[in-house]
Amino acid sequence: MSSNPLETSGKMRFLENSALVTAVLAVSFAAIFIRLSEAPALVIAFYRLLFTLFILLPGFLVGQWKELRFIGTPDLWKITLSGFFLAGHFYLWIGSLNYSPVAVAVILVSLHPIFVTAAGRLLLGDNIPPRFIPSLLLVLTGTAAIAFESITGVMLYTSTEIRGILMALGGAVMMSGYLLVGRHLRQSLSTTIYAGGTYAAASIFLLIIAIPARVELFHYPAREYIIFGALAIIPTFFGHTVFNWALKRVRASLISLLYLGEPLGATILAIIFFSEVPSSLQVLGGAAILTGLYLVIKRGPEPPGPC
């Protein structure tokens, strides 16, 4: 008996929306785990990616490895470029948490939709849906409100804190490149091959940096490895990897917008784990972010634009 196309479409939309909501919640845990770790940023980033590779390995061995024969040299270069951007994003953002307040680092690294939307329009020919614009404005306004007290004090920051701000902005630029390259690659590669290749390339880049810098990669307490594993499972696998899966179905600009749910989620989790109660302005900002995300998810993901 054939299934109803409308019913099938509805189920697929529900699956996609549920996956995107899960990914937003998952990436919100990243800042919490990073704050709990005492390891250097380079080490946290390296193990986060390495452990995620182990999670993806069973799926690769079951059948995805056959896809490797169809990957050409251009795709390999693009996967390498994607890994470069991801390595830079993780290293700069995680490092920024050591130099600037968490709120500032999370907010500034979340500004990548500005870069993604502009670059997506110029490089990929993405058309910006009319409903995307008010959603983006709502989310960006809410994001700015959450960290308003910190941002207004930027002129009082020390040189160390300014370094953190610049690293967070660099992390936003790197995230933009990662999303745009991934948006292109996901049209021809499976999630496992694309994500696995990108994570592997990013791990190698971080290792290349760590060896000459003489960063200790081993001999950490068991507690640290548990945190690395949690970072791999929750924000990376259920967060970044789910977003990678969605890149074949929706615009990179939409995925970038959904990543902005992270500041709100991180704020709520900070209340639970660190008793950091937000101000009334931050609460209003969170409401604006939720409204923007609701407008995007309620009507379903936009179909991909031309690549």
- Per-residue pLDDT of 152-161, as tens digits, reads 555 555 556 6
Tell me if 117 sits within 8 A of 105, measured CB to CB. no
Residue 301 has pLDDT above 50, yes or no: no
**Structure confidence by residue, pLDDT tens digits, 1-59:** 445 665 556 777 777 788 888 998 999 999 899 989 999 999 999 999 999 999 988 87
With a CB cutoff of 8 Å and minimum separation 6, the contacts of 55 are: 232, 233, 237
Tell me if 139 sits within 8 A of 288, measured CB to CB. yes
CA-closest candidate to residue 239, choices 264, 258, 226, 253 = 258
Per-residue pLDDT band at 305 (split at 50, 70, 90)? very low
Task: Report helix angle 102-109 to 73-96, nearest 10.
Answer: 150
Domain residues of the chain, as ranges? Answer: 28-298
Q: Residue 129 burial (CB < 10 Å; 0-12/13-18/19+)?
A: middle
* Highest mean pLDDT: which range of 108-122, 155-169, 261-275: 261-275
Tell me if 88 sits within 8 A of 127, measured CB to CB. no
Q: How many beta carbons lie within 10 A of that of residue 137, not counting itself? A: 12
Stated pTM of the model: 0.80
Higher pLDDT, 130 or 49: 49
